Structure formats: C-alpha cells, structure tokens
Amino acid sequence: MTSPSHPVPKHRAARKVLTVLGPIEPAKVGITSTHEHLLIDFSVVFTEPKEASNRRLMDEDVSLENLGWVRYNWTSNRDNLRILDEDISTWEAQQYFNAGGSTIVDVTSVGLARDPEALARISRQTGLNVVMGAGNYVHMTHDPELENLTVEQIAGQIIHDIDQGVGDTGVRSGIIGEIGCSWPWHDSEKKTLEAAVIAQRETGAPLLIHPGRNERAPIELLEAVDKWGGNLNRTVMGHIERTVYDRCILNELIGMGSYLNFDLFGHESSFYPLAIESHMPADHERIEMVEHVISEGKQGNILLGHDVCSKHRLKTYGGHGFDHILTRIVPRMRARGMSEEVVRLILVDNPTRMLTFD
C-alpha cells in the first residue's frame, strides 16, 4: 500500500538496480558483497562485562593494547560497536574497490544510524555502487511511535524510501532490509516484516531478512513471507551459517527457493557473545556449507558477504576488511575445486539478479 502523501513515480526502477546515486543497468553491478555496514551504530548489542577487572575495558577506544580482548568480547566495548568515521569507512571501501569489488549492499536499516547522504559521498569518492537498505531492525531498536503505526503506514515509509528517498535527502533505498527478527519472534517484528512484504509487492524491490538465533527461525520467517503474499524468489535469508547447523534443516531451507546469504566471512571466534550456547563457524565451515548448497544444485541461490558491523573487523583496526572474500576466500574455494563459472555466478550473477527490480 502506498502512502497517499507520497505518490508513486511514473517510472520505477523496473529492470534496474537502485543505488544511492540512482538507478544503474544490471550489467554495471559486477562483483558484489551482499551484506555490509559502511557506517553503523551497533550499540544495541552492547553487553556490560561482568568482571570488575574488565569494566575499564568497556569504555576504552579500540587499540593495539586491547585488541585481543576486544576480538573475543566484541560486544563489550562501546567504541568497537560504532563505525562512525566517514573517512575511515571511505578508505576501507576503497580497498574493496581496489581488489576488484564493484558493489556493496549496505543494509544498515532504521535503528542502526543509517546515513544516506554519507553513503552517497562514499560511493562518489570510491567509484563503488552502494545499495542502501530500508525498513526496521530488531524490536530493541524500534522507535516507541512504531507501536501506534499500522502495518500499512510502516509499509508506506519503506515505499517512500525506495520511490522518493530517505526523508528529504533524495537518496533512495535499493533493497528492503535488513529486517530484524528475534527468537522468539517479537510482535513488533512481525508487524515490520509484514510491512516489508507489502513494500516488496508494491515496488518489486528485493527483501533481506535477519533471522533470530534458532535453526527453525529462517523457515518460520519464509513461511510468513509466503503467507503474506511475498515473493520467496526475491527474498534473501541472512546469516545462514550462524543459524542453521543441521544439514536436514538446511536442506529444507534450500528447498524454499529464497536466496541464502553466507554473510559472516571473516568473523571467526570460538566465543559468540550474542548466543553463548551456540558458536560462530570458521571460514572453512562456511565454505563447506556453500559447497553443500552447490551439491544440492542450488548454486543460483548463494550470496556472500562479511556483515562488517564493528571496528575490530576493519583493516584500520587489525581486521580482515571488506576485501576478505575476494583476496582470501575465493582463492581457497578455487583451490578446493570450485569452477570459475560457479565463482562468477556467486559473486556477480546471483547478486545482480537479486538486486534487479522486478
């Protein structure tokens, strides 16, 4: 449903990819990382250290002296959860461009300090295509006024971001997401996902979902998208590798037809503070999961990314950076026998198809 105060433009981005600098032809998309955050305030996940001796570390700036502790306890340092320096983010994005990357999908949704005009400046300075997200993150970031909005009104906000631009910036979103969902699924998140589905139907934009940390969560969410009339073939399920470990459940998910985003490459730690009963897979496990999807004949559904959302994963602070997949992961995939045809499919063809408006 379209908000009556913001009429739909006569010419939508049909068969185009919508970047922060405007629509582009699909042929210009090129190598793409499909889940990133160039600028973000991720303070919503901050976890105060329990030990008195570690309390001083939570308010220190990230440095060489505390980096080892920060890498292991990455949600317990306030500075680590804020990527706010545009100059640093521009330099980091430039390293990705220099490595052969063409497009970054920045899914910093409402509640995470989305900055449309800064993304446009980064795009201009680096030469990268930047596709910006729309919609709401998890319920802990929802503005109190959202409770009083109808599903249709929330959908109208998303549609405005796509058709007109965020606020009065004129900078338009080219993907809906990441739409944040928790486990158990919160009522306000059900409302925002249903609104996202309405916006998907209205605009033809792709939809990207952040699932709760339960193996059945992605399936439950896709079933809801389908029930509300969404297009599963235009929907991306994120964070597959930190959510689904059981191959039988993964096979069930594969069969639902959505894109599967293995989007945490480079995030390696034996301790996963956001789900201490679970674990964060290593890159070799991610590669094995990708190979499993290929073995099931669904290589056309695979997307890759890093989900950089904290300082310790940037090169500036000793991390892997946005070029990690291109410079380290793809060579490992090739060494394990992945063909050039499949590599191109995953890095270029799949994201291009996903980002092209229906």
* Phi/psi of residue 53, nearest 5 degrees: -70, -20
Confidence of residue 104 (pLDDT cuts 50, 70, 90): very high
DSSP assignment letter at 183:
S
DSSP assignment letter at 136:
B
Peptide bond preceding 184: is omega within 30 degrees of 0, i.e. cis?
Answer: yes
pTM of the model: 0.95
Model pLDDT for residues 207-266, shown as the tens digit of each residue: 999 999 999 999 999 999 999 999 999 999 999 999 999 999 999 999 999 999 999 999
| pLDDT attached to residue 62 | 98
**Tokens 């594969």 belong to residue:** 254
Task: Give the whole-angstrom CA distance, residue 180 versus residue 50.
Answer: 27
| pLDDT attached to residue 258 | 98
Question: 105 versus 272: which is more confidently predicted?
Answer: 105
Q: How far is CA 299 from the centre of its chain?
A: 19
| pLDDT attached to residue 9 | 56
Model pLDDT for residues 61-82, shown as the tens digit of each residue: 999 999 999 999 999 999 999 9
Asked whether residue 1 carries a pLDDT value surpassing 90, the answer given is no
| pLDDT attached to residue 271 | 83
For 99, the 3-state DSSP assignment is coil
Beta-ladder partners of 56: none
| pLDDT attached to residue 13 | 76
Contact (Cβ atoms closer than 8 angstroms) between residue 277 and residue 298: no
| pLDDT attached to residue 7 | 52
H-only helix segments in the chain: 52-55, 67-72, 86-98, 116-126, 151-163, 187-203, 217-227, 240-243, 247-254, 283-295, 324, 330-335, 340-344, 350-355
Asked whether residue 111 carries a pLDDT value surpassing 70, the answer given is yes
Task: Give the whole-angstrom CA distance, residue 325 versus residue 321.
Answer: 9
Tell me what the mean pLDDT of segment 32-42 comes to.
98
Rounded to the nearest integer, the mean pLDDT of the chain is: 95
| pLDDT attached to residue 328 | 98
Residues sharing a CB contact under 8 Å with residue 287, sequence separation 6 or more, in sequence order: 329, 332, 333, 336
Task: Give the whole-angstrom CA distance, residue 196 versus residue 191.
Answer: 9
Domains of the chain: 24-355 (3.20.20.140)
Model pLDDT for residues 299-321, shown as the tens digit of each residue: 999 999 999 999 999 999 999 99
